[in-house]
Structure 1
């Protein structure tokens, strides 16, 4: 990252030229800098006129060698005095004074540069105009040569982004950004009214695009942006998990993934009524949409660097047509239509509003689009990429979902995000259906949408937890063969909302398609900070976007394939690939062990499920105690097997637990976790904050992350290491009736032993020497799974039970 450099300078934004007699070890004086700048900036022919004028400074005599140069540079706004009418010609000039004069000469205004001195210093360093510690004649000449190159771009008749060291520079003032709204016509009709759904699209672009510049676009498709309902605020939203009746298979099946291919059930595309274009015009300004929409300022960093930022919440959201269908193929097609419009596809139209037929062209776009976003917005990026739509050059998903089955399910059992047991597509769809926020509009479709949600509940089939057509439609890895763009995938290793398996699925899909894919794995949870100490994330993204959206040959594709932040000291390391092929195995030993699904044996009281408090708060109080119960093995709800770690054990990939066990019921949930047990005295680890799915962070330096373009600097952050005696590394869950696959079921005969293969979440984690690694076997996970009414008791054959862990050697 770029840290702001402190400058103990006065408001002297000056420069001067050196004479042949300057002292090299002391550097140029301000008077010498002024003389040299006149020559280097091509003002020599004008110098005589300014020499004939009286000196504008009280400490520069009319016959002084630098008098004309000081007058000239003051008149052109390149150098100023130091206050009180003085120029201080004998004071040693600083490299920043020279850089300031050269940036102004290149054509950058104070508005573009920002505030003195921090923004000036940061931009000078970004432009490689810092000039070293001492300003010399040779260093000044090198600075002037660079400034001359920048001047050609900055003052060109047709504006263009300025790239230095492979990254776009913040030369587009934020307060001149153009903001407008259009309505893109999609190929889908999610509300079945016979009309093509129009989606509201918000556009922000540099003012230079009105002067001929063609901008690349960063597009965020984020259903949350238009606002959300209170679906998750209702106390009853997940009451269905309490005393749930898991589906008991009546017979084993032999279905495969191909049997659940949703594309096989696709029908002919319906002929939809579309708007008739009545002419062309300009987009509207959107009115108050800019204050009522989330995330409109999330990409300001890129706006001032010459990128356009476009956002769309999609069908069913406030201002758009249709239904919110939660990750469906129709939602994906709608977002893909926005990409097509941005890429100049004449078959896709956009209009100034929903009724006039006045068409709007994206004539400011260079046709190259990136999709980026966090969580749902990271998911839509991968979804659209899986269609192979033209114009999408790269995606940068952060905590994105590749397969919604693996978000809401795990090996045949319902498994919501951490602290969201019972969550499902219908609830998220209801939450994002922000047309509900406009009662008059929603009343026209309310009954139809409620019927749609009821159908969604039936199709997602939570109580069986099996893979089916519904989930196959929302499995974007099915489109791996269509991928024709690159991906920079960012994910938190402590994210158990969108769990780590999702980045693994995405990464594998891009690699199998032969497309460029990079991983950045940090120690955070569901959210990624703007900048993390030790990783120049803005620099990585800057080179990535420049390469794939503007064609800059900067070697972005040759940078590290995988960057991972260590859990032990938060340092960063680079690797050629993800997931080690080397494994170690830890055996449970001999004899038998038993555990039960009965939560009443622990500190978790399911009777509190109807209290009038927010879900995360009351769940987490009990959850902390429950975690301690199962990890300690102090109750009948778990069995714990511990292994001494004599040398650092670096886990890298997907651990698998093989369990030979019987159950006394035909249904049941089987779960496992790996836990790092600290020696006496404890250890430091990145932990979730209390009552939160986020990890604790700390600010290392306020205002240390420069943005440029007149934007306020941000704080430099790092994840916090907290004292603890244990840390859950990873975990997994399965339905014992899905021991063969998620596509079909196998009946369970009570008392009969079976071998179960339970996949834990992929992980990079180092268990340090002297610690113990614990394998915890348990059943119901109150933080993630349903809470079945039927109590299932398990008996484990330890001789057939072990964990296989991929490790870095």
Structure 2
């Protein structure tokens, strides 16, 4: 807590005391309202502008008292639910919202905020067409902000006009996990006035990078699959559905105009909202380049920002550090939506989990002073042939030759190694096929207690509950507690990277390789932050096709000039990486790989 400034002391808002918002209004007496906001689009081509459903819960304030809005725009309110307990929206007999998922309304409405749950275009009670991260989705969520600021038209269920000017300041903070947070990124990239902050949790900043790993197809028919999961308006949206199938360049995995329309990073300079990024460094659904590249673009644009990184997977911090998260989020919204100078924006910018349950703060991320350290792979030429290895088969027993991989070791380390940022592997290779997938994995070999992110995303639900805000018979504020899933293991895959060899020149086009010719190809490795303890060994494993992608088992043989190939690590503090016990050899043979089930962002 900070001492209240003179401005705080004279604040006339009844819900502000001592420099912070406090419970003032009865949640049981809150106003529930459902509004349909007109968008600028007609995605379903029915001759009528699309409308997005905006379900509001707001405090019953006195005349003249206005409040800002916390908004979660989501495609999941009817199909799949939100939060660890998969809560859905519920409505009363008149079709007005009676229960919003998650705790935001229960906790913040008594403190002088309104909450808006927005159905993305083409989902639940919104019209239009779901275009999977595209312009229609973004325009629909943006229209809700425009309506709150008097720039768009809103209607009640009976068609009568509805405005918000009597009760809101027009200041909006968007929050959400996964797809919800992705749309928050997209709306912020429009520069819309009134959006003061966003809190993207495990969110996408480039849908190409979500569905294509550097020119490698992650899964077939992914855009249409996601559309079908969240929307029941496929029949009304033939043109959009056809575009998702035909314009996404599945046959080549090229980056094109379709993907550029779903890439928010080039518009980071238009972001006027502050940004509070939260992401798991072991998130295998929305991989870490999604936050890391966005974070770098925001930094270059001078956007006020904060970041939390944790060691679990695709997890909301409410299910990781619940008390600390609610307190910090409360301070963040008070600062950017209420204008209360509580110091949260002057705290260390980064909070990072360095071991199970151990969090530390840093001035920035990557850690200040981080530098790239390069390590040679060895000498001579080694070769490996595509085997479609499982990850366990690829990384186990790195000192033993295994067909289909090259394994390198650095260590045992004489001191802890802090990795902070985006590694890469620079390879000098010769391939006997026009292309193949090049896969790199960094592995920490050594016994330690680790978060088991491959099981339940690294968390498990307990039998106890805790409550966050006020409850009613229709909408309770209590949720099962969640703990990290931790076990002692002999090794852990830290991070992974993929590169289609024929896309090594550009992601916009393929450049087939000529057999017999040497190429320099960089495999970008997903951003990471970790401490590899002294006494452990850092491993680098190279394979080709992988269960995380749809890359075919080509049977390609890749020769690697070890002396002209390097591992590049972003390291904070002293580091010496000397290759040891590397026993690569030429291998051959072919086995089938296991393909993943498709995930939802």
Query: What is the TM-score normalised by the length of structure 1?
Result: 0.64
- Which residue number in structure 2 is paired with residue 719 of structure 1? 484
Structure 2 residue matching 1:548: 3-state secondary structure: helix
Would the alpha carbon gap of residues 299 and 529 (structure 1) be closer, same or farther in structure 2, given more than 3 Å must change? farther
Contact between 2:129 and 2:136, CA under 8 Å: does it hold in 1? Answer: no
Contact between 1:594 and 1:636, CA under 8 Å: does it hold in 2? Answer: no
Contact between 1:733 and 1:758, CA under 8 Å: does it hold in 2? Answer: yes
Q: How does 1:28-67 map to 2 (within 5 A)?
A: none
What CA distance in whole angstroms lies between the structure 2 residues aligned with 1:538 and 1:423?
A: 38
Contact between 1:332 and 1:383, CA under 8 Å: does it hold in 2? Answer: yes
Q: Describe the superposition over 1:531-552 as per-residue Cα deviations: whole angstroms up to 9, x where unpaired.
A: 6459722222111111111111
2:346 to 558, 564, 576: 558
Query: Does 1:203 find its partner at 2:56?
Result: yes
Contact between 1:595 and 1:793, CA under 8 Å: does it hold in 2? Answer: yes
Q: How does 1:178-577 map to 2 (within 5 A)?
A: 178-208=31-61, 211-227=63-79, 287=94, 290=97, 295=101, 297-345=103-151, 348-353=152-157, 356-415=159-218, 421-422=219-220, 424-435=222-233, 446=235, 449-530=237-318, 532-533=320-321, 536-567=324-355, 570-577=358-365
Structure 1 residue matching 2:159: 3-state secondary structure: coil
Contact between 1:490 and 1:521, CA under 8 Å: does it hold in 2? Answer: yes
What CA distance in whole angstroms lies between the structure 2 residues aligned with 1:303 and 1:294?
A: 12
Structure 2 residue matching 1:754: 3-state secondary structure: strand
Contact between 2:351 and 2:362, CA under 8 Å: does it hold in 1? Answer: yes
Give the alignment's Cα RMSD to 1 decimal: 2.9
What CA distance in whole angstroms lies between the structure 2 residues aligned with 1:594 and 1:647?
A: 32
Between 1:220-229 and 1:669-678, the stretch displaced more is 220-229
Structure 1 residue matching 2:243: 3-state secondary structure: helix
- Which residue number in structure 1 is paired with residue 537 of structure 2? 772
Would the alpha carbon gap of residues 298 and 364 (structure 1) be closer, same or farther in structure 2, given more than 3 Å must change? same
What CA distance in whole angstroms lies between the structure 2 residues aligned with 1:452 and 1:344?
A: 29
Between 1:716-725 and 1:657-666, the stretch displaced more is 716-725
2:379 to 590, 602, 621: 590
Greater strand proportion: 2
Q: Describe the superposition over 1:488-523 as per-residue Cα deviations: whole angstroms up to 9, x where unpaired.
A: 111111112111111112212222222201111112
- Which residue number in structure 1 is paired with residue 436 of structure 2? 668
What CA distance in whole angstroms lies between the structure 2 residues aligned with 1:696 and 1:226?
A: 25
- Which residue number in structure 1 is paired with residue 414 of structure 2? 646
What CA distance in whole angstroms lies between the structure 2 residues aligned with 1:698 and 1:196?
A: 43
Q: Describe the superposition over 1:645-692 as per-residue Cα deviations: whole angstroms up to 9, x where unpaired.
A: 2210000000010111111110211110100011xxx211112243x4
- Which residue number in structure 2 is paired with residue 42 of structure 1? none
Structure 1 residue matching 2:510: 3-state secondary structure: coil
1:763 to 525, 528, 536: 528
Greater helix proportion: 1
In structure 2, stretches of 5+ residues that fail to align are 82-90, 574-601
Structure 2 residue matching 1:304: 3-state secondary structure: helix
Q: How does 1:73-92 map to 2 (within 5 A)?
A: none
Q: Which structure has the larger Rg over C-alpha atoms?
A: 1
Q: Describe the superposition over 1:357-413 as per-residue Cα deviations: whole angstroms up to 9, x where unpaired.
A: 434444211111111100011011110111110100111111111111111112211
Structure 1 residue matching 2:430: 3-state secondary structure: strand
* Number of aligned residue pairs: 556
Contact between 1:698 and 1:720, CA under 8 Å: does it hold in 2? Answer: no
What CA distance in whole angstroms lies between the structure 2 residues aligned with 1:362 and 1:511?
A: 34
Between 1:502-511 and 1:385-394, the stretch displaced more is 502-511
Would the alpha carbon gap of residues 709 and 290 (structure 1) be closer, same or farther in structure 2, given more than 3 Å must change? closer
Contact between 2:312 and 2:452, CA under 8 Å: does it hold in 1? Answer: no
